Every structure is written in C-alpha cells, then in structure tokens.
Amino acid sequence: MRPLVLFSVLGIILLVALVAPEAYAESLENPVESERLDELIENVARAIAAIGIPFVAVFLVIAGFMYVTAGGNEERVKAAKKMFTWGLVGGAIVIGAWALATAVVNFARSLSP
C-alpha cells in the first residue's frame, strides 16, 4: 500500500511539473546564466568541482582521523587506508572531470571562428 501512495504522489508532482510550464510559458525565463553550450559546460564543471573538492577534503580528514585513532587495530587501520585511497580516487575523478571539460570547451572554442 505504501509504495502505491508514494508513486501516486510522485506521479502528481511529475504531471504538475510537466503541465505547469505550458500554462505559464509566457512568464518563464531562462534559469541558466549561460547563453552558449560551451559556457554551460564550463559552469557545470566548475560547480561540480566546487561541490566535490570540499567533499574530498572532508573524506581525507576523516580518513586521517580514523588512522590516528586506530590505536594499532589492523582492521581500523585498513579501513582508514581504504577510505584515504578512495578519497584520493574521488579527488582525481573530480579534478579530471573539470580538466576534461575545460579542455573540451577550449578545443571547441579554438575551432569556432
């Protein structure tokens, strides 16, 4: 019974979200500050990096705290090292995604006259 209510509510929200813009199409404004696709890609990449990098920093600090407070317990040391490793991998993914998006945008800009 509970999933039926949840799907009904989600269906009503989706229906309102799809129908409402058509009813008020004259008053809608562009919520995106970018005028061109390259600006949009650059802004999205910058936003993802701005959100992701603090998460990576928090992960690394927590991993360091776990390592320091492990007290020689091999399982806790192993968990801290694993968390630190995956924090670095996440940081590399975030920075790599930003760098790739920037490179693609700069390449596309160099092609256009």
State the Rg of the chain over Cα: 22
Q: Determine the Cα angle at 83 with ends 53 and 71, to 5°.
A: 125
pLDDT digits (tens, 9 = 90+) for 36-92: 888 888 888 888 888 999 999 999 999 999 999 988 899 999 999 999 999 999 999
Question: For the residues 102-108, what does the mean pLDDT come to?
Answer: 90
pLDDT digits (tens, 9 = 90+) for 91-104: 999 999 999 999 99
User: In angstroms, what CA-CA distances link 70 with 35, 56, 61, 76, 110?
Assistant: 52, 21, 14, 5, 52
> Does pLDDT of 16 surpass 70?
no
> Does pLDDT of 10 surpass 80?
no
The residue with greater pLDDT, 31 or 80, is: 80
**Backbone phi, then psi, for 34, in 5-degree steps?**
-90, 140
**Domain map (residue ranges) of the chain:** 33-111
- CB 91, CB 54: distance < 8 Å: no
The number of C-alpha atoms within 13 Å of 48 and in the hemisphere containing its C-beta is: 19
